[in-house]
Amino acid sequence: MTPTEKSFGRSVELNARLQDVVPGGAHTYAKGLDQYPENMAPVMTHGLGAHVWDADGNEYIEYGSGLRAVSLGHAHPAVLEAVRGQLGLGTNFVRPGVIELDAAERFLATVRTAEMVKFAKNGSDVTTAAVKLARAATGRPLVAICQDQPFFSIDDWFISTTAMSAGIPGSAADLTVGFPYGDLPATERLLQEHEGQVSCLILEAATQHDPPDGYLTGLRDLAHRHGCLLIFDEMITGFRWSEAGAQAMYGVTPDLSTFGKALGNGFAISALAGKREFMERGGLRDDRERVFLLSTTHGAESHSLAAAMAVLDTYEQEGIAARLHALGDRLAGGVREVAEAAGVGDHVVTRGRSSNLVFATLDQDLQPSQEYRTLFLRELILGGVVGPSFVVSAALTDEDIARTVEAVAQACVVYRKALDADDPRGWMGGRPVKPVFRRFA
């Protein structure tokens, strides 16, 4: 089926039905109908490797798989074998299973900067547990988040700071303050302003750029000098930067860190890891006041733990982190080349670490544009490429990268036409895509 022959009728129908029974039509806002061009939001039926198929039978090369969770590719054989083997033995018991010990020891053998680990199902559970533990350890109420980074948790301490804070008492936002990434003097001023009140600094160790020289070491020392904990959110950097996370790559050990996404290759598992002196506060061997750290019915489901161990083994045996970087390098180079050739090199831009590429769509004034993003997403989908980013999975082949670059090249030709017309609306196919965090639908 050629790009112009693609049909989306079945997906349009399913999206309408989803809206009737699921608020927003998706269980994750970033997967919502509003994130894709009008009448071109595919509803998927299955995936294999780096390819997915929608309800209309359209096949796509997929990026950002599972919001960066499926880093090995869909239906990875080693992961499925481990999960199937465990399912026949039971998935959840009234007492810990041997696999819980195996998984914890396997995780700590990889993330050697941590001394203890506790598993849960999603990232918000463990980031909130980390914040609670920091508050208990310091006796302080405030949480300092990196204000330049997009997401930490669905819980009140973070969502209260966003445009979607409806339903959260205003007082919750008073307990969260922000600091800028890469700016130690500004962070120190914040800590001095709230002297003795900040429990922790929480941030991703890196996002689109490596940290400035000495920044993470300086941030750790600054936190400790002011009596608060340093927490790394490694939901993305964990396993995409290196098998042992960004903390190993940059040589800075936080007090606590959180992992998820790639850890289960699509199976639900996350982890809170950290120093024993803090983690034991949630256990049975500490004489201080206990912390209700993490206690979830499904936190240690055996099949997800089996998946995690298979993922860790595959990363180590096959050098997955290095492969993700190599694939991203190839893709970024191709995108830059075709964008320049089409005269939109300043407007269609790849950003971020090679293993975690995003794309920016800029207007005539080189400002971020939802309208041009809509045009670009639309042309990619018509070209057989789907995804909110260029975040690669290890299942991509050289042919997949080449086909993606071809789709980008065609999209850039249309992009140039829209720039020349000084109006992208004729190529959007309907309303523009929208930012996730906004007050009204």
Mean pLDDT per segment of 10 residues, for the chain of length 441 residues?
Answer: 73 97 94 96 98 98 96 98 97 96 98 97 97 98 97 96 95 97 98 98 96 98 98 96 96 98 97 98 94 93 98 97 98 98 98 97 97 98 98 98 98 98 94 94 91
pLDDT tens profile 343-391:
999 999 999 999 999 999 999 999 999 999 999 999 999 999 999 999 9
**For residue 409, what are the CA distances in angstroms to 220, 283, 300, 308, 341?**
44, 55, 45, 37, 8
Which pLDDT tens digit goes with each residue over 212-221? 999 999 999 9
User: Token digits for 103?
Assistant: 């998984």
Angstrom distance (rounded) from CA 109 to CA 270: 16
For CA atoms 121, 157, 129, 249, the dihedral sign is: positive
Residue 1's pLDDT is: 37
CB 256 within 8 A of CB 272: yes
Amino acid type, 131: V
